[in-house]
Amino acid sequence: MNPILSIILKRLLIGFVTLWIVTIIIFAAIELLPGDIATEMLGQAATEESLAAFREKFDLNRPVHERYFSWLGGAITGDFGISLANQRPISELIGYRVGNTFFLAGYAAAIAVPIAVVSGMLAALYNGSVFDRVLSSSTLAAISFPEFFIAYILILIFSVGLGWFPSLANVDVEMGLGERLYRTFLPAMTLTLIVLAYMMRMTRAAILNLLALPYIEMAHLKGIKRWRVIAVHALPNALAPIINVIALNLAYLIVGVVLVEVVFVYPGLGQILVDAVSNRDVTVVQAACLIFAATYILLNLLADILSIIANPRLLHPR
Amino acid sequence: MHNLSHHLKDAPVSAWIGILIVIFYAVLALGAPFFAPFAESASVGKQYMPWASPHYLGTDALGRDVLSRLIYGARNTVGIALVTTALAFTLGATFGLLAATIGGWFDAISSRVVDVLMAIPPLIFALLILTITGTSVIALILVIAILDSTRVFRLSRAVAQGILTMDYIEVARMRGEGMFWLIRKEVLPNAAAPLIAEFGLRFCFVFLFISALSFLGLGIQPPTADWGGMVRESAKLISFANFATFQTATFGLAPLLPAGAIALLTIGVNLVVDWVLHMSSGLKE
Question: For chain B, what is the mean pLDDT?
Answer: 81
* pLDDT of res. A35: 61
Give the tens place of pLDDT for each residue, B70-116. Answer: 888 888 888 888 999 999 999 998 898 888 888 788 888 888 888 88
Q: Which DSSP symbol is given to A34?
A: S
Q: State the smallest CA–CA distance between residue A32 and chain B in angstroms.
A: 7
- Residue B284 predicted with pLDDT over 50: no
Q: Which of B130, B259, B262 sits opposite A277 (nearest CB)?
A: B130
Question: For chain A, what is the mean pLDDT?
Answer: 80
Nearest C-alpha in A relative to B231: A148
Cβ–Cβ below 8 Å for B217 and A149: no
Give the tens place of pLDDT for each residue, A84-107. Answer: 777 777 877 787 888 888 888 888
Residues from B in contact with A at Cβ < 8 Å: 115-116, 119-121, 123-125, 127-132, 134-135, 204, 208, 211-212, 215-218, 228, 231, 235, 238-239, 241-243, 252, 255-256, 259-260, 262-263, 266-267, 270-271
pTM over 0.90: no
Give the C-alpha distances (Å, rounded to integers) separating A4 from A242, A243, A304, A306, A312. 19, 17, 12, 11, 11
Considering the segment(s) A103-281+291-315 as one domain, its CATH architecture is Orthogonal Bundle (1.10)
- Mean local confidence (pLDDT), A245-257: 81
Interface probe with B: pick from A26, A277, A285, most Cβ of B within 10 Å: A277
Q: Which of B115, B124, B130 sits opposite A293 (nearest CB)?
A: B124
The region that residue A35 occupies, defined by phi over 0 for left and psi between -120 and 50 for alpha, beta otherwise, is left
Q: Which of B132, B218, B242 sits opposite A32 (nearest CB)?
A: B132
Cβ–Cβ below 8 Å for A293 and B119: yes
Q: Give SS3 for A89.
A: strand
**Alpha helices in chain A, H assignment, sequence order:** 3-31, 37-42, 48-57, 64-76, 90-125, 130-144, 147-154, 177-183, 185-211, 214-221, 226-228, 235-263, 269-279, 282-309, 312-315
pLDDT class of A39 with cuts at 50, 70, 90: low
Q: Which of B132, B208, B255 sits opposite A33 (nearest CB)?
A: B132
- Residue A47 predicted with pLDDT over 70: yes
Residue boundaries of the structural domains of chain B: 31-281
- Burial of residue A177 (number of CB atoms within 10 Å: 0-12, 13-18, 19+): exposed
Q: Give SS3 for A264.
A: coil
The backbone torsions φ and ψ at residue A266, rounded to the nearest 5 degrees and listed phi first, read -90, 130
Q: State the smallest CA–CA distance between residue A66 and chain B in angstroms.
A: 22
Give contacts of B259 with chain A, Cβ < 8 Å: 146, 148-149, 152
Cβ–Cβ below 8 Å for B204 and A143: yes
pLDDT class of B212 with cuts at 50, 70, 90: confident
Q: State the smallest CA–CA distance between residue B3 and chain A in angstroms.
A: 28
- Mean local confidence (pLDDT), A242-246: 81
CATH of B31-281, one of 3.40.50.920, 1.10.3720.10, 3.30.450.20, 3.40.50.620: 1.10.3720.10
Q: State the smallest CA–CA distance between residue A223 and chain B in angstroms.
A: 35
Give the tens place of pLDDT for each residue, A178-211. Answer: 777 777 888 888 888 888 887 888 888 877 888 7
CA distance B67 to B45: 13
- Residue A318 predicted with pLDDT over 60: no
For the ranges A40-54, A187-201, B115-129, B161-175, the lowest mean pLDDT is seen at A40-54
Q: Which of A140, A281, A292 sits opposite B270 (nearest CB)?
A: A140
Give contacts of A144 with chain B, Cβ < 8 Å: 204, 263, 266-267, 270
* pLDDT of res. B1: 45
